[in-house]
Structure 1
Amino acid sequence: MQKIPAGAWVVVTDGAGARLFHNMGKGATVSLKQQELLEPDDLIDDGPSGKRPAEESDQAKDEATFAKQLAHRLNAAALKQEFTDLILMADPQTLGQLRPQLHNETTRRIIKEVAKTFTNAPVEDIESALNH
């Protein structure tokens, strides 16, 4: 079991939103406190990054756009030294859309990834998943 450092950012996301937590626990104890609720913003005008398939659904485009917006938020925070450790918890598709858009400064701070959807899960379930 990997120790989750105090102050680590835990981002729990899917294609429709994200919850940002800070680990307030000490030692091996994970105790998450929600800091922000991130939702998609201006999806039509912003749009996804990169080349997308022509037959892609509107929902898939919206999810890709949100992944880009979340990556921008995390990159900006990493470059401002707002966190030193990052944990990403997301469904595999969202993780796949997020990873290539993360700056090197953000990527080097990732200490754990959990490829599972926890977006609507209670905090206790998220903490439990991090403790295993």
Structure 2
Amino acid sequence: MKCPHNAHIALVDGERFVVMRNTGQIFEPKLEKVAEPKLEATNFSAGVKHQDPVSQRKGETDLNELAHATAAAEWLNQQAIAGEFSDLVVIADPKTLGEMRRHYHKELESRLAGELAKTLTNEPTEQIEKAIVAA
């Protein structure tokens, strides 16, 4: 995947949200941590579509995780609208990424350089860089 120089990378899972920036080149990313915003999960209606009986029995639905994904998307929307970044790569586990996509603002969508449906929030920076190159 192409990761433009100075692009921001959002690493998100159901509990953690980390923002990094690419200080390297487009095909040789070098990531540095920019922030780890503390989010207030307030939109618990986010997981309503996941409330089918099968998911509930299997324990596959966690409204707190889905609300966290929504809060991360809302934070990114605010940053995009404010012009805080020009390019963004979102890396999140598949369920989180799916929930985030439902809340993307058009301004955020216009700045998306790519998405990667993978859980990498707790991986070392080198592993994240390799995953971006391989995508």
CA distance in 2, matches of 1:50, 1:117: 20
Post-superposition offset of 1:67: 1.1
Structure showing the higher helix proportion among its residues: 2
Residue in structure 1 matched with residue 18 of structure 2 by the alignment: 19
2:27 aligned partner, one-letter code: A
Q: In the alignment, is the contact (CA less than 8 A) between 1:16 and 1:40 conserved in 2?
A: no
Residue in structure 2 matched with residue 73 of structure 1 by the alignment: 75
Structure 1 unaligned regions, length at least 5:
none
Q: Which runs of 4+ in 1 moved over 3 A?
A: 54-57
Structure 1 position 36 matched with structure 2 position 35: yes
Residue in structure 2 matched with residue 48 of structure 1 by the alignment: 44
CA distance in 1, matches of 2:93, 2:129: 17
CA distance in 1, matches of 2:66, 2:31: 27
CA distance in 2, matches of 1:130, 1:54: 34
Equivalent of 2:86 in 61, 84, 88: 84
Partner SS for 2:19: strand
> What is the TM-score when the length of structure 1 is the normalising length?
0.86
- Residue identity over aligned pairs, in percent, reads 31
What CA deviation, in whole Å up to 9, does each residue of 1:94-115 have, x standing for no partner? Answer: 0010001010110121111111
Give the aligned length: 127
Partner SS for 1:101: coil
What CA deviation, in whole Å up to 9, does each residue of 1:45-69 have, x standing for no partner? Answer: x242346238657x71111111111
